[in-house]
């Protein structure tokens, strides 16, 4: 589904990703953890081609993506991304946020897009908010709209970069619930999060990133009960 091989990424002299190999199977939910600065966001952004990798390859559905040959906008439409700070479009209503990309990018008919948009808003529990502007929503509601907006492009993979980190604690649950539901429906997901409960309950695999390398990759039970790397043990203690 999504495969990165030997991914290297530097910002100037700073080497942030030092050879990442990661393959995500269809319907798999991978949770990515690691201390601040370990390169989690950078890795997600590389998978979404918001950053150009310096070395290595990224494959989607078995096809190696070459930024010089492929139209990146077309690739990005297949890899959805949910951001920490939502990044909703403030000048559009909730429904307009959701149907914008299908109409503009996929050239979907507006009437069809509205039907799809309403379905998705219902899925994330926000049917009643279709016509309000994002500024009127709580953080949890904003993030659920952002998820619906990504889903509207019917991506093959959905990347989440700390989707609940900017939320008040009491709003985290509603967003995680939507993500859990997506996982159950078979969505392929890569999730950067500090919500260890989510990792334990929803992830198929937990991966620990440390200084730009993957040092641990295991099913949640093994990852949390019996990690092989000392740094992983420290990290688990730290977040517990």
Partner 1 sequence: MELIQTVFEVFLRTYPGFLEATLTTLKITAVALVLGTVLGLIFALMKISRSKILQTIANLYITIIRGTPLIVQIMFLYFGITSLIVLSGFWAGAIALGIHNGAYIAEIFRGAIQGIDKGQREASSSLGMTRSQSMRRIVFPQALKRSIPPLGNQFIITLKDSSLVYIISVPELFAMANREAAQSFQSLETYLVVGAYYLVLVMIFTYLLKLYENKLNVDK
Instruction: Kindly list the residues in this chain that would bind Mg ion in the complex (CB under 5 A).
Output: 41
DSSP reduced 3-state for 107: coil
Residue 84 has which token pair? 């920490």
DSSP reduced 3-state for 226: coil
218 touches which of partner 1, Mg ion, ligand ATP, none (CB within 5 to 8 A by kind)? Answer: none
Give me the least distance between CB of 23 and partner 1, in Å please.
21
Count of residues that bind ligand ATP according to CB under 6 A: 11
CA distance 125 to 148: 10
Give me the least distance between CB of 16 and ligand ATP, in Å please.
4
Contact range with partner 1 by CB under 8 A, out of 26-34, 147-155, 164-172, 208-216 = 147-155
Q: In angstroms, how far is the first alpha carbon of the chain from the final one? A: 32
Asked if residue 191 lies in contact with residue 198, where contact means CB atoms within 8 angstroms, the answer is yes
232 touches which of Mg ion, partner 1, ligand ATP, none (CB within 5 to 8 A by kind)? Answer: none
The contact pattern for ligand ATP, residues 36-75, with x = CB under 6 A and - = no contact, is xxxxxxx---------------------------------
Residue 15 contacts partner 1 per CB under 8 A: no
CA distance 82 to 84: 7
Nearest residue (CB) to partner 1, 1 versus 92: 92
CA distance 116 to 141: 18
CA distance 220 to 210: 18
Nearest residue (CB) to Mg ion, 45 versus 149: 45
Task: Work out the number of other CB atoms within 10 angstroms of the CB of residue 152.
Answer: 25
Task: Work out the number of other CB atoms within 10 angstroms of the CB of residue 53.
Answer: 23
Residue 193 contacts ligand ATP per CB under 6 A: no
Give the binding site for partner 1 (CB under 8 A). 48, 50, 72-74, 76-81, 83, 85, 87-91, 100-101, 104-106, 133, 135, 146, 149-150, 153
């Amino acid at each position: 589904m999504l495969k990165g091989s030997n991914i290297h990424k530097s910002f100037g002299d700073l080497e942030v990703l030092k050879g990442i190999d990661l393959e995500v199977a269809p319907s798999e939910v991978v949770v990515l953890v690691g201390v601040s600065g370990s390169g989690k966001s950078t890795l997600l952004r590389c998978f979404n081609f918001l950053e150009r990798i310096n070395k290595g390859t990224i494959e989607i559905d078995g096809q190696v993506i070459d930024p010089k040959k492929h139209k990146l906008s077309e690739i990005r439409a297949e890899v959805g991304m949910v951001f920490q700070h939502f990044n909703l479009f403030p000048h559009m209503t909730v429904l307009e946020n959701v149907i914008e990309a299908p109409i503009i990018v996929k050239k979907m008919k507006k009437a069809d897009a509205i039907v799809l948009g309403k379905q998705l808003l219902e899925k994330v529990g926000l049917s009643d908010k279709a016509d309000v502007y994002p500024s009127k929503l709580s953080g949890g509601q904003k993030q659920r709209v952002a998820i619906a907006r990504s889903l509207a492009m019917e991506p093959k993979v959905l990347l989440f970069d700390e989707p609940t980190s900017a939320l008040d604690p009491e709003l985290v649950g509603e967003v995680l619930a939507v993500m859990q539901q997506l996982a159950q429906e078979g969505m392929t997901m890569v999730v950067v999060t500090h919500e260890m409960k989510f990792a334990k309950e929803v992830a198929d695999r937990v991966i620990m990133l440390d200084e730009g390398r993957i040092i641990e990759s295991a099913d949640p039970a093994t990852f949390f009960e019996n990690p092989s790397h000392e740094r992983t043990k420290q990290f688990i203690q730290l977040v517990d």
